[in-house]
Chains A and B, each alone.
Chain A
Amino acid sequence: MAAVADAKLHPGQVKFGIKSAYPFKRLLNRFEQDGVVEVWYPWYYITLGVEMDTYLKKGMSYRDLVAVDALRPIRERVQGFPEITDSNFGKGVKLEPKISDKEAKEEAEDLLKGIVLSRNKLLKEYSIEVEKTSLIYHKTFVVKLKEVEPGNWLYIDSHFDAATTLKMRPEVYKHIQKR
């Protein structure tokens, strides 16, 4: 059992994916869908507490949430957790994280540090503490396209509104090639 964030693939998302991946080609080519592969993609969600004093106000504190990609060096501040269920992966490809939760914590801390430092000209002191770490698998999709090479198939992650060609996501492409 693992924490997973489910998702459904709508035709509109495929259309958006084609538009994003092929802004010019789509005008000339008609792309036809030829099946979908489900991919379970790991993200760390890190809750952090930030405390800071500025020259104008002391003792400010708040909570923040950072999502750290477990396969790519990418971290993003996010509004909240995705809807999580405890379940099995079923069919589809499950990708394993390439970093530990300790490394993910450091990255989340580093991201916040950069933002707090660069945006506050009157900052005096600050501290950032990691409170909780969760590993969550997002359900994402590889959309096969007829008469198109696998590297040019679509990869869609609806949790982050991301759509691109598979070759731009080598960490996923590698596993699809193995199948």
Chain B
Amino acid sequence: MEDISIGFWGWFWLVFFIGGTLGIGFYAMTKTKTDEDFAVARKSYGPYILVLALASTIASGSTFMGIPGLAYDKGFPALWYPAIYPIGIYLGLILSVQLIKRAGDTFRSNSLPEFLGQRFDSDFLRVGFAILSLLLIYYVTAQVVAAATAFEVILGLDYRAGVVITVIVIGIYITIGGSHADILTDAFQGGLMLLIALLITGLFFLGTGTESGGAAGINAAIEAQDSSISWDNYFSPGDPIFGSLWLVILMFIAHLPFAMNPHIGNKAFALKDSAQLRKFLILAIPIGSILGFAVLGGLHARAIIGPELRPDAAIPALFVELFPPVVAGFLGIAILSAIISTADGLFVSIAVIFSNDLYRKTFAHKIHPNKSQKELEKTALNISRIATIVTVFAAMWLAWNPPDFLAVLLWIGVGGIMSGAAGPLVIGSIWRRSTKTAAISSFLVGVISYASMWLIVGWQNPFGAAGVCVTLGVVVMIVVSLFTEPMPEEKLNEIFSPTRK
């Protein structure tokens, strides 16, 4: 009976969520005061809204499922993850965003691969980074799988029906045009996720459902089950992710270039005024950290439910345990928010790879040499539309029978992008002396070493592998730069302090 109730409330909230999101989208589109609002959202959004949009893009399905699942399984040592990753991600953003925004504005970059090509005057880097970024399709697929799993657990829906519904929802959602709709829906979802993360944090510190209450009550319950995962253990000896301080340091390093993923870094281009960049960055760390606190729910679930659950279901099960069905059903919406706000950014980024990085900037002048600028732009726009639709169907196809090695492919994508981007984008943004040869070497070493870690060495720790390869990429970037010809001063001035000729 209870299951039916949760399913009912799950559906209720799902209709509410889809209606709410579409409502916000259409409200934003049709109720904007002027056509100008619709077209360009004139300097409408400052740091507060954009930080929520950024946080919701960074936080994916794993924020409420995979990561709390790790804590559920590995206990208190897993708290290193929320303690480390927001600092890593946002520190990386702070280091490189100023130059990327300034130079990106100057050179009219539409994407990070394009910016990378301009920074080092290299077609190879632009095309290489663009092609590597296509692996983001596995990231999208993972979001669809997570959403369909959430539907299965909370709504009692067949997995494949969940895949179809997810793809339809995302399909409708990404066609909401209009500048305000685009930014507001992401911020709305970020706000919703923030509330759920705060609720999870509050519950943890109250120790709801434990005998003695408080965080100590949760620890006591976990210790009674398995003393090796209580809070007296800072690390899990032998664990590939939380086994030692070195692995934790690698996790930190791995997240430094995370914001250089194409669907995240491009948020910097949307900030209305460069002068607000500082406030944007100051707000980004605490808000990102609060979302990371969702991991506490995994510990809480372990304490009051015990070790029998599938780890990914820890937070849904916690809510089912603690709350009436109406609230438990609402959780599905937070998970869906996390997934959709990440997936829509990914769809747009993949479309831009085809329309801008590959067509407009690379092949257009070869295959359409006689087309006017306006015709080229029209073709690019059509390519981006077709690419979006193809990506939606590809994600659906991959999610239909999720391959066993999906997680491996996903991390070859994300980890590979981070390993390849760390040297050229992060070091290239803060160090003038970085050279083109070094950037290409660092990109290749980062990507190839990351793929080898997975395929040849078979190291089952994505953060560790990314941490090693990011470090390797950075070292190669610095060493090769010192031994190769610096870029011409004129070119460097164009990037760091441009003037007209």
Residues of chain A whose beta carbon lies under 8 Å from any beta carbon of chain B:
50, 52, 54-57, 60-64, 70-74, 77, 79, 98-99, 110-123, 160-162, 167-171
Contact = CB atoms under 8 A, between A and B. Distances in A.
19 contacts: A56-B177, A57-B30, A61-B35, A64-B40, A72-B500, A74-B105, A74-B498, A98-B500, A114-B110, A115-B39, A116-B39, A118-B110, A119-B179, A120-B38, A121-B177, A121-B182, A123-B381, A168-B497, A170-B497
Contacts of A162: 275
B235 to A, nearest CB: 34
Contact of A122 (B30, B106, B177, B501): B177
B177 A73 contact: no
A116 B35 contact: no
A120 B29 CA distance: 10
Given A52-B35, A60-B35, A121 B175 contact: yes
A170 B39 contact: no
A10 B128 CA distance: 49
Most chain B Cβ neighbours within 10 Å, of A71, A79, A99, A121: A121
Interface residues of B, number: 33
A72 to B, nearest CB: 5
Interface string B484-501: 000000000100111111
A63 B469 CA distance: 49
A17 B110 CA distance: 31
Nearest to B183: A119
Contact of A56 (B29, B106, B377): B29
B53 to A, nearest CB: 13
A98 B29 contact: no
A117 B75 CA distance: 48
Interface of B: 29-30, 34-36, 38-43, 105-108, 110, 174-179, 182, 275, 377, 381, 493, 496-501
Nearest to A64: B36
The 10 A-B residue pairs with the shortest CB-CB distance in the complex, in nearest-first order: A122-B177, A62-B36, A60-B35, A98-B500, A119-B179, A121-B177, A171-B499, A62-B35, A161-B275, A115-B40
Nearest to A103: B500
B389 to A, nearest CB: 12
A122 B178 contact: yes
B40 A110 contact: no
A110 B108 contact: yes
Contacts of A50: 35-36, 39
A120 B275 contact: no
A112 B175 contact: no
A72 B498 contact: yes
A98 B105 CA distance: 19
A72 B39 contact: no
B34 A73 contact: no
A155 to B, nearest CB: 11
Contacts of B43: 77, 79
Nearest to A65: B42
Nearest to B37: A62
A105 to B, nearest CB: 15
A98 B40 contact: no
Given A54-B177, A77-B43, A117 B381 contact: yes
Contacts of A168: 496-497
Contacts of A57: 30, 38
B390 to A, nearest CB: 16
A71 to B, nearest CB: 6
B298 to A, nearest CB: 37
Contacts of B41: 119
Nearest to B109: A114
Contacts of B108: 110-111, 114
Most chain A Cβ neighbours within 10 Å, of B30, B177, B179, B499: B499
Contact of A73 (B29, B36, B42, B500): B500
B323 to A, nearest CB: 37
Given A116-B40, A170-B493, A71 B179 contact: no
B137 to A, nearest CB: 20
Given A62-B39, A110-B108, A121 B498 contact: no
B106 A73 contact: yes
B277 to A, nearest CB: 11
A106 to B, nearest CB: 11
Contact of B498 (A52, A62, A73): A73
A163 B34 CA distance: 33
